[in-house]
Amino acid sequence: MESMLTTNQAARRLGVKPATVYAYVSRGLLTSEKVNRSSMFDVAEVEALAQRTGARGAVAAVTDRIRTRISLLENDRLYYRGRPVPEMAATKRFEDVAHWLWTGIDSVNIQFPEGQEIWMALPDSATLTDRVRVAIALASVGDPLRYDLDRAVTSAKSLIADVVESLPLVGRPAGTDIAERLWARLSPEPAQTDLLNATLILLADHDLAISTMAARVAASAHAHPYAVVSAGMGAMEGQKHGTATTIAHRFLMQAESDPMGTVAEHLRSGLPIPGFGHRVYQQRDPRADYLLAELRRHGDLVADKVIATQTQGFPNVDLALAQFALMFKMPPDAGEAIFAIARIVGWIAHAMEEYKEPGLRFRAMGVYTGDRP
């Protein structure tokens, strides 16, 4: 029978014991139907009850057990290990913040290795994000000790350096810091490495974002750090996650000559304005606030003209990243590449936490709604 749940399946979805499901039946909240002498429940009815009661179900119960000391999102503010992230973006090096997230040790002048340029025979259509993804896979192949999970920090430093070195040069490297190396691969404009360094810090982690959940699931199977990062990349490339900044970049390019007309055309087409709102933040994205304020020091922003047309919603970091790339003549997907390289830090930090937990703890049971045997 289609679209019917067993008692145990209904209990898992409702986050209760099977006895409570029968209590719901006696109170008229659910209707049971006997199938082969077993009680079955309509999926739609169970789902409606779950929505009314706010039931979180089995999968949510697993995620509720994730304890992390890395990031805190609270009252529209972001903290790394208890420290305000905008403050760290203004005063710290990306490498030092990465080491802080990985180890909890406050150090200065942490150095990442030189990095190896990984040769890739990719088609002309390959994006910067494609290059990042391939570089991660090839760096993994080149590390015979990748299964030594105690080397996660060493692996992460080398991986970030290798990924940066594998992007094509468009300028002259101005130093050895990651922000200095990366700028030469993103922009032909005079280096603004302090700004890029701050951006990398702002994006290094964001609690249990969907890509971080993917990374933690991989780490729960004791996947090596490169595989963990690849899992994070897979989720990041979704249209609802990392690629949002490229969509916002395309919108800002259109709005550069006619902001009001571009916004009006989107509204007329029923399309949302890219780069606004957030699933977690309620009134402001602190990362966007910081980055947009810094960008205003370098000139007028197309983003501000778009923001002025909005009476609801607030700019998020996708819009700020898009404006960053547009202002300094970076490729359209530069924001994705910056996001990915920065977030490697967070994925590895969460993996190191997950390696200490019982393995495979995210195994959940599906709610089967197909034909019954």
Q: Would you say 229 and 347 are in contact if contact means Cβ atoms under 8 Å apart?
A: yes
β-pair partners for 4:
42
Displacement of CA 120 from its chain's centroid (Å): 25
Question: With 60 as the cut, is the pLDDT of residue 59 above it?
Answer: no
Question: With 60 as the cut, is the pLDDT of residue 228 above it?
Answer: yes
Higher pLDDT, 51 or 209: 209
**Could you tell me which residues come within 8 angstroms of residue 28 by beta carbon, excluding any fewer than 6 positions away?**
none
Backbone phi and psi for residue 149, each to the nearest 5 degrees, phi listed first: -70, -20
Report the distance separating Cα 263 and Cα 273, nearest Å.
Answer: 7
Which 8-state DSSP code applies to residue 150? Answer: G
Question: Global pTM?
Answer: 0.87
Question: With 90 as the cut, is the pLDDT of residue 201 above it?
Answer: yes
| Average pLDDT over every residue of 243-266 | 94
| N- to C-terminal Cα separation, the chain | 8
Q: Which H or E run includes 74?
A: strand 71-74
**Confidence class of residue 13 from pLDDT cuts 50, 70 and 90?**
confident
| Average pLDDT over every residue of 84-108 | 97
Higher pLDDT, 373 or 339: 339
β-pair partners for 35:
38
Report the distance separating Cα 34 and Cα 25, nearest Å.
Answer: 13
Higher pLDDT, 348 or 175: 348
6 SS3 class: strand
C-alpha angle 191/194/200, rounded to 5°?
105
Tokens standing for 53?
């009661």
Question: With 70 as the cut, is the pLDDT of residue 41 above it?
Answer: yes
Ordered by where they begin, the domains of the chain are 4-55 (1.10.1660.10), 70-366 (1.10.580.10)
